[in-house]
Chain A
Amino acid sequence: MAAAPLALPRLGFLRRGRPILMRIAQAIPVVVGVVIISFVLTRALPGDPAVYFAGPTADEKSIAEVRAKLGLDKPLPTQFAIYAQDLLKGDLGTSLTTGQPVMEDLARRLPASLELTLAALLLSCAIAVPLGVLAATRPGSWVDHLCRVLVTAGVSMPTFFTGILLIYIFYYLLGWAPSPLGRLDFIYFEPSRVTGFFLVDAVLAGDWETFFAALRQLALPACTLALFTLAPIARMTRAAMLSALSSDFVRTARAAGLTKRKVVYGYALKNALLPVVTTLGMVFSFTLGANVLVEKVFAWPGIGSYAVEALVASDYAAVQGFVLAMALLFVALNLVIDLLYAAIDPRIGFKAR
């Protein structure tokens, strides 16, 4: 009661924005922890980057030289201090495998992965949510069975297999798809970079030819990932819808004569969205990390294959950069999901605690 008159209406935006800032502030210790752990873990990995980069013919002396050049001869705390200092300046170091600053590599490759993952999830939701709803409204019908079959097939086939199968059918047999070699056929120029998402950048540049070329390249890998992510989303939608449809408020809505459409989509689905959004967040995070197989199959220059290559080469800067980028992404993702929760359900106040 006493707090109400104090809140000036003009500060409304600040008042709404503050919890978000608080949440971001709460993420700082997480990020610091990630920085430390990723540093320690990469050092604990077997393999010596100095040996790797000095080459197979190098002798002790040249290895030591490389080591000194990389700063790996210094004690660990000193190395960490240097790393942390660079980090504060926004310098993630230089990748030894690509010879580029890690920041630049990530800025190029992260959008590629995000574009693929987001396209896959959009596609997957567009199929899974309606499928789940239909299956829930007609339990035991053919839609329900189709849903079950699709879900089982989706999870039981590994992505690299689905990927290769799709390439075989749509590229090799039918010739509908372009060759599975990266984000854009070499005859097109990359659109000038704004977001790093080729589709978005092409639209911004008004270059529809490039847009469709990029879309064609994206289609098969996105389908492959979508098939894989379909299962959890469709399942959760079905289960959440079944419980929403059997709840008391749906009975009230039916007794009041509301149309079936309104009851199913306006009342039940909105209530069922909460668990679906949770699942979506989880699926998003594991796909982003796990789509390395798809990236490999389609020669997609994404962050997953970058991380694997860096790991194999004990490329410290690149691995640390990757882990940090993922951590920041997850923090942002969780924030978005919390905001979505608050937007869907008025009972969940978005409060700084």
Chain B
Amino acid sequence: MLAIDNLRIGFRTRNGHVEAVKGISLAVGSGETMGIVGESGSGKSVTAYALLRILDAGGRIEAGTCVYSGIDLAHAPERQMADVRGREISMIFQNPRAALNPIRKVGHQIEDVLVRHNRAGRNNARSKAIAAMEAVKIRDAAARYHAYPFELSGGMCQRIVIALALACDPRLLIADEPTTGLDITTQKAVMDLVAALIRERGMSSILITHDLGLAAQYCDKITVMKDGVVVETGDAVDVFARPQHAYTRRLVDATPREGATVRSLLPAEARGPDPAYTVRDTALLRVQNLEKTFAGKSGPVHAVKGISFRVRDGETLGLVGESGCGKSTTSAMVVRLADPTSGKILFDGEDIGAVPAKSFARDKRRGKIQMVFQDATDSLNPRHAAGRAIEEPLRRLTDLSARARRDRVAELADLVGLPLHLIDRFPHQLSGGQKARVGIARALGTDPRFLILDEPTAALDVSIQAVVLNLLADLRARLGISYLFVSHDLQVVRLLCDRVVVMRAGEIVEEGEADQVMHAPSHPYTAELIAAAPHPPTLKS
């Protein structure tokens, strides 16, 4: 159906010519689902754009052929390509809300595609667009037809993007990270929907993802890419269960999964025993009936509805839930960046919730509670070098001299494994993993007893995630600090946490030992969350 042969793609950049894809070959059979798996920079998305010839400015197919039912997509005239796009091959994207025109009704956007490919005329475009929306299981499609993307949820936007892609019955669907940024239950719903539609219509498809587990669950075959080269290709189960290439093995190892420990995420040669740490039975943090109400457009929004939990000294507590469950609001209140509407936050017995967030920056306990933020890139000042970023809290919260601060920065960099020569670099000169280390070092500067980790690995590739999780485990063992680990991903939380709190709609639905919550959830919602995580096929040994 599709045969890519020795495809090379290059980009003209300010720093000269960069080869993003270095001669890859792969084939997708009729009715087959191919997974292309790789970490950022592997060239997997660029390959997909090249198939449709929608590379960004400066990108060019330099060699090779991509033959799709007799047409060489790499060399076909633009006029022919215009007919191929959307009708023969179509694509769904990550970040569905941005992928839709923000100022055009979603129904009209689907109509545009139908009319373009002569699937509908002026009189029946509307009914056909609604039918396309119904095909992707959008309830009340006639009403949603008039919605703008900003009025729909992320999952609903992705359904619209899928409806748009499938409106003209293409033979090949390319899905580029279709569920990145979606909640785990939405991810499952979207993936199940796509899989069912592909099967129903007998389409071929390519699923591009960084999540090997997801690919293994939904694809027939998997191609693993690294730095623009295919390192391994084969049946999904084989690749996942019996990886041949060292890189694939590292990816498989780094994927959080049933039964893994934090050390087992690392490559075999780097594994050691899980670092031991002690939990004392004294409460370091006690949250009592914490409530938060925001003034919303249509009345007050009750984001956190009176929750209570405690974190023992040296313990790691996981706070899990989907977007909008109130976990971020809770962590913002605990770290004293937001004021609770009511309730108490007792830190070491003192109610820090009584100190307004505005003046907490000058409180002597500020240094004791620190935070590692979600996006390692966005949470660093782009104009400050790494060393300056780490030094900042030392300047504000300690009275160390300039020399002592410099020594402390070096010490911290060493602690988090950031090579010393990197501390003069700016964020854009650092890799994702290095930026994460800077963020952690910054939080550790003031010797905190309690760290709030807000999805610290959400934006990282799995192999980097494995390294960062291990670093956090090591630091906990060395420094004896407590963590509040906020995440949407139970599998990741389980690796690091002693106990887990599951939140939904501002309330705690379940609390318990991590293993018990994972294996014998008492609340149906927790069970749903666990079931929604990708379940890669396991090898019957």
Contact = CB atoms under 8 A, between A and B. Distances in A.
Nearest to B164: A256
A262 B99 contact: no
Interface residues of B, number: 32
Contacts of A270: 103-104
Contact of B85 (A1, A139, A255, A271): A255
A254 B112 contact: no
A257 B100 contact: no
B148 A347 contact: yes
Interface in B101-147: 101-104, 112-113, 116-117
A152 interface: no
B84 interface: yes
A331 B36 CA distance: 57
A345 B150 CA distance: 11
A251 B93 contact: yes
A105 B91 CA distance: 64
A289 interface: no
Interface in A235-260: 246-249, 251-259
A255 B91 contact: yes
Contact of A247 (B82, B98, B116): B98
B85 A257 contact: yes
A253 B57 contact: no
A258 to B, nearest CB: 5
B351 interface: no
Q: Which of A246, A254, A257, A270 has the most CB of B within 10 A?
A: A257
Interface in A212-271: 246-249, 251-259, 262, 266-267, 270-271
Contact of A259 (B82, B98, B150, B164): B82
Nearest to A349: B297
Contacts of A262: 112, 116
Contact of B112 (A246, A266, A346): A266
Nearest to A253: B101
B86 A256 contact: yes
A271 B149 CA distance: 14
Residue of A1, A252, A256, A271 with most chain B CB atoms under a 10 A cut-off = A256
Contacts of B103: 270-271, 344-347
Nearest to A346: B148
A265 B85 CA distance: 19
Nearest to A260: B82
Contacts, number: 82
A257 B82 contact: yes
B165 interface: yes
Interface string A1-13: 1000000000000
B161 interface: yes
Contact of B164 (A139, A251, A252, A347): A252
Contact of A258 (B57, B93, B112): B112
Nearest to A274: B103
What does DSSP make chain A's interface, helix, strand, loop or mixed?
helix
B85 A267 contact: no
Contacts of B264: none
Contacts of A267: 101, 104
A252 B112 contact: no
B344 to A, nearest CB: 33
Contacts of A256: 85-86, 90, 112-113, 116, 164-165
A1 B98 contact: no
A252 B52 CA distance: 11
A255 B95 CA distance: 15
Given A346-B148, A347-B148, A249 B57 contact: no
A232 to B, nearest CB: 23
B330 to A, nearest CB: 27
Contacts of A246: 56-57
A140 to B, nearest CB: 9
A258 B113 contact: yes
A248 B54 CA distance: 11
A247 B97 CA distance: 12
Contacts of B164: 252, 256
A139 B82 CA distance: 22
A259 B86 CA distance: 11
Nearest to A273: B103
B57 A255 contact: no
A254 B54 contact: yes
Interface string A308-347: 0000000000000000000000000000000000001111
Interface string A147-161: 000000000000000
Interface string B71-105: 00000000000111111001101010011111110
Q: Which of B57, B83, B95, B112 has the most CB of A within 10 A?
A: B112
Contacts of A344: 103
A309 B63 CA distance: 71
A247 B101 CA distance: 9
Contacts of B99: 248-249, 251-252
Interface string B277-313: 0000000000000000000001000000000000000
B118 to A, nearest CB: 11
Contacts of A139: 57
A254 B165 CA distance: 11
A193 B57 CA distance: 55
B54 A251 contact: yes
Contacts of A346: 103, 148, 150
A252 B148 contact: no
Nearest to A140: B57
Nearest to A246: B56
B450 to A, nearest CB: 39
Contacts of A258: 86, 112-113, 116
B50 to A, nearest CB: 12
B455 to A, nearest CB: 22
28 contacts: A139-B57, A246-B56, A248-B95, A248-B99, A249-B98, A249-B101, A249-B102, A252-B100, A252-B164, A253-B112, A254-B54, A255-B90, A256-B85, A256-B86, A256-B90, A256-B113, A256-B165, A257-B82, A257-B83, A257-B113, A257-B116, A258-B113, A258-B116, A344-B103, A345-B103, A346-B150, A347-B102, A347-B148
Given A249-B102, A256-B113, 9 more contacts: A249-B99, A251-B93, A252-B91, A254-B52, A255-B54, A256-B116, A257-B116, A266-B112, A270-B103
